[in-house]
Amino acid sequence: MKYYTKKSKMRFQIKHPKIIMVIIAIFVLFNSIMYFFNKNILPAALAIGEENLRREATSIINETALEIYSKDFDYNNMIIIEKDNEGNITLLRADTVKLNYLVSKLILASNKKIDELEEVGMNIPLGYLTKNLVFYNLGPKINIKMNQIGNITSSYESVFESAGINQTRHKIYLNINMQMKMIVPLNSKSVDIVCQIPISETIIVGKIPNTAIELNK
């Protein structure tokens, strides 16, 4: 006796097609939002964060320098002027030990304040990105983390200018350089902070030697 079996046709049947469509729609929407966020929101947030970071870091360094140098800097103790028997200036010599001590105090104090700024970070409301005063504080906030990269570097700069007959104006500047890194979700940016701080301005009576004073030895 022969037996015959009927072959069943295998059909691929999608169960719950509406759920599949919803999942696909959510996936496409999520990717679209992330693309818009990466291309528009994050660059704007980093640009605003960079502006705020430069202002905050520069303010910290300048205020700290004012506190230290207004109290501890004395031109007559830092710059030694040597004259001959006729009163002519023969040499200008800087006390680099005292100058370096002051800048070390500045760097240590600035680092402490910048560490506090790093712990807090910056929160920028999304409404701030519209540049519209009405929406400045509206919307969720983007938190920007900050980290200092490397050490703060410094150098003194000495400038001589004519201030009249047999008079010279001596200006001393302190140049500060540091680098910070801003970190936001999925992105980051390095920011160079450059400050030039006027330390002193003094009128020297007498002819200044041709050899310029060196403050960074």
Tell me the pLDDT tens digit for each residue of 82-114: 877 777 777 888 898 999 999 999 999 999 998
pTM, 2 dp: 0.71
Q: How many CA atoms lie within 13 A of 137 on its CB side?
A: 0
Backbone angles phi, psi at 175, to 5 degrees: -100, 125
112-to-108, 109, 176 alpha-carbon distances in Å: 6, 5, 16
* pLDDT at position 3 over 60: no
pLDDT at 39: 63
Q: Of the ranges 44-48, 64-68, 124-128, which one carries the lowest mean pLDDT score?
A: 124-128
